[in-house]
Structure 1
């Protein structure tokens, strides 16, 4: 044995242990727990970190693990950062210094964005990419600084000025970290290890039918809030008491006796609440001459919270949503859901939607169809969507990506799903447009799956019992020529929803108008998916698959028989616009796009768009179909 190698290895191990001890003594950092999501970052002043970021592709994760495959996090010493950990952002101090990465001269990438779209050489890349941003910062005395991410797909490790501040899993929900002690006046930097690797125990799992856009896909910003601030609140219309506005508020400190003021000027409501020992307070206030939010009149009120130096403003609509037998009731009146499904992807540019302009484009198309309901599939979309839906009067279905077959018996997978569910509900619980929380999509029936989804239902009702719960289930066979909707999970939801593709995935579409259906549960029914693919501009006869003519015929036949489904309260055809998917390789037709959209990847309307619009126009008018 070479003694010099043995001595080096021993010394290296010793230095790692010493470094870990020093790091612990300096930082006293415990295992990272997800910090509570601050409510309504949308309307708070902030420092935007959007724009150009430096990036380094790291398929071997050299910047995270040392050559013994031990994470640098385990023993990193900020006083002696070395040259291996990319998050340290080390610069050579002398011409003999060896540093094998360099953010300063690295290529740039846009945030928000997706590397598969922005960088041709990374089109199919799945793995780790390091993002780095330099910025100037001016701390406010007596304020805390919170670093907020709208979404990072899929796993994020976040470092500020070389110090790890947190870790997040889930590609479609927001998260934040309090970074006050890590920022300084003047020059600062943030580094994010982004990893979009698909995993069996992840949510979603390895197998999906959409593009795995990697990157910091939504906005990044720094909020500065007073030491004591309004961390969370819920404001809604009571289902039990007419015209009573109720809810809760929570401050950032668990302290009794703090005063919080709720102000809704138009309703002449101004009430001061006193927090309990947990820093929380609840309220129920009778409102006079309340205008309820409705799809026909999406009325919003200015709502303001004030606690100490903190003031936060919101726009809130007040409405109730419930079920009665086979009906869905909006403000106590039956509503039929003229819907469409929608992915969070810009079909013209093939990238993730992230801007308000993107949201306006998608909803404008939905409005042209004469819809009043949109299923946001298959994950929480960006916050512009529910905010704009509030203004436009569009009802929403939001869901988490518990999709197809995931690891049902894995407790960490369940915790992951609950985490994403909680972040979705926390962000959007004050949006009047959101009426349905969905637990899953097309999951195979098993006892393990049933228990998993039941746990999600329990969590959802604990977080928010004012909305309806559903899941996109499936048709489970036929009996005597009757299609059966009998998923046992139907017992635990408010609305029976199922996907069906008769005429596309089996069956003959000409038979659809005469199909018989049986639904096990006496609950409102939504057909959450149905549709057929078509290449825009491909014209043939109505029996030629992939043609616009076939898709239009498919829609005509489905619409001719869909009202035969018992308890039907609405439906959401699949899908508004074509979207990218590696599952769709058919050359010259799909070309890695799912072609079931009513609008093409270039933004052009297919023939089926007008078929559905005609049906919805008649449905709204109440004429015979």
Structure 2
């Protein structure tokens, strides 16, 4: 009986959340607008270039408020916004402008899984346009400027048991500021687009060990038949070792190791498969950080063996090359800016 009651309560909650959110406005929408699930928004893993098994998606309905710039955190909020859709978009459920004289505030609660207890916890933002300040439980955890790049903060020291509170403040002057903005303008007409302010890529939590891999840079060299991997770690020690395995399916086809914070250079097989539009082959890459015989961290990635270059032909015309062969590009420009 208790199980049935719990199920019915969860079903009712899901229905209420869906009923509260609707795409804003009456302009034309793409087919994806009807496929949005507020309880499972953009569920795909947000960083496939460096993947771990454990993570928590914070996309969904957040509280929001628009306030004059310079004001303190709002004591109450205006309503709910669907993250990670820009506030000007239909799918946000709001479709309002912010402007340089105002700031956009977000608020959400989250709970850290108990099995993450002995880990550091990172809070990731896929992108926030433009300037973002972030607090967790009223503790300032970081600031980021730039509308197109991902960023993260270690929020471990700000966490509490049970529910945690995250607040994000965003300022975006669009074409009244100096930031890169593409064709976004506050008064769009003709070829110009509406602003894309606030959170517009996935927000998520990730547990990591005390010493972990922060970033990967993978560089193929077709001429030398090598794959070079630089693994940037949170701390550096002479006892650490980075191991890289290149896989095709479940089979390891090449591997290499390095110490002393050196790049790992993997010699690929002679029959390596080159990437091309006709055959876009990707290799799986496993990167493991060791301290002696103890595994500290492991991430999964991927790589393509390909080379882009340019050369002048016998008439002096510059040609684009892929894998040392001329590549002729031909195609239309299909460009649009949909309200949703």
What TM-score do you get using the length of structure 2 for normalisation? Answer: 0.72
CA distances 1:71-100 after superposition (whole Å, capped 9, x unpaired): xxxxxxxxxxxxxx44xxxxxxxxxxxxxx
Structure 1 equivalent of residue 151 of structure 2: 175
Q: Which residue of 2 aligns with 1:57?
A: 66
Q: Structure 1's 205 and 292: CA in aligned 2 closer, same or farther, altered over 3 A?
A: closer
Aligned equivalents of 1:285 and 1:120: distance in 2? 51
Decide whether the 8 Å contact of 1:39 with 1:232 is kept in 2: no
Shift of 1:135: 1.1
The CA distance in 2 between the partners of 1:341 and 1:304, in whole Å, is: 37
Establish whether residue 132 from structure 1 lines up as the match of residue 107 from structure 2: yes
Aligned to 1:331: 323
Give the Cα separation in 1 of the matches to 2:76 and 2:98.
Answer: 21
Contact 2:50–2:301, Cα closer than 8 Å, also in 1: no
Deviation at 1:309, TM superposition (A): 3.3
How far residue 281 of structure 1 moved from its aligned partner, in angstroms, is: 3.2
Q: Contact between 2:82 and 2:93, CA under 8 Å: does it hold in 1? A: no
Q: Counterpart of 1:147?
A: 123
* Alpha-carbon distance in 1 for matches of 2:303, 2:164: 36
User: Of 246, 250, 264, which aligns to 2:246?
Assistant: 264
Map 1:68-147 → 2, pairs under 5 A: 85-86=73-74, 101-103=75-77, 106-118=78-90, 123-126=96-99, 127-138=102-113, 140-147=116-123
Judged with a 3 Å threshold, the aligned counterparts in structure 2 of structure 1 residues 344 and 287 are, in CA distance, closer, same or farther, namely: farther
Change (3 A) 1:300 1:206: closer
Q: Matches of 1:239 and 1:298 in 2, distance apart? A: 15
Structure 2 residue runs of 5 or longer lacking an equivalent are: 1-46, 186-191, 290-294, 313-317
Cα deviation, residue 112, structure 1: 0.8
Q: 2:265 aligns with which of 283, 292, 302?
A: 283
Aligned length: 270
Q: 1:316 is matched with which residue?
A: 303
Report the secondary structure of 1:227's partner residue: coil
Per-residue displacement from partner, 1:85-135 (whole Å, max 9, x unpaired)?
Answer: 44xxxxxxxxxxxxxx225xx411100112122478753332311100011
Q: Pick one of 223, 228, 246 that aligns with 2:206.
A: 223
2:37 corresponding residue in structure 1: none
Judge conservation of contact 1:261–1:271 (CA < 8 Å) in 2: yes
How far apart are the structure 1 equivalents of 2:153 and 2:264? 26
**Residues 453-494 of structure 1, C-alpha deviations (whole Å, 9 max, x = no match):** xxxxxxxxxxxxxxxxxxxxxxxxxxxxxxxxxxxxxxxxxx
Distance 2:304 2:104 in 1: 41
Where does residue 286 of structure 2 map in the other structure? 304
Rg comparison, structure with higher value: 1
Any unmatched runs of 5+ in structure 1?
A: 1-37, 64-84, 87-100, 352-625
Which of 1 and 2 has higher RCO (CA within 8 Å, sep 6+)? 2
SS of corresponding position for 2:89: helix
Distance in 1 separating the partners of 2:183 and 2:67: 21
Contact 1:44/1:223 (<8 A) preserved: no
Higher helix proportion (structure 1 or 2)? 1
Whether 1:204 and 2:181 are equivalent positions in the alignment is yes
Shift in alpha-carbon separation, 1:338–1:257, aligned structure 2, 3 A: farther
Superposition map of 1:329-478 within 5 A: 329-341=321-333, 345=337, 347=338, 350-351=339-340
2:254, 2:262 → 1: CA distance?
A: 20
Q: In the alignment, is the contact (CA less than 8 A) between 1:138 and 1:184 conserved in 2?
A: no
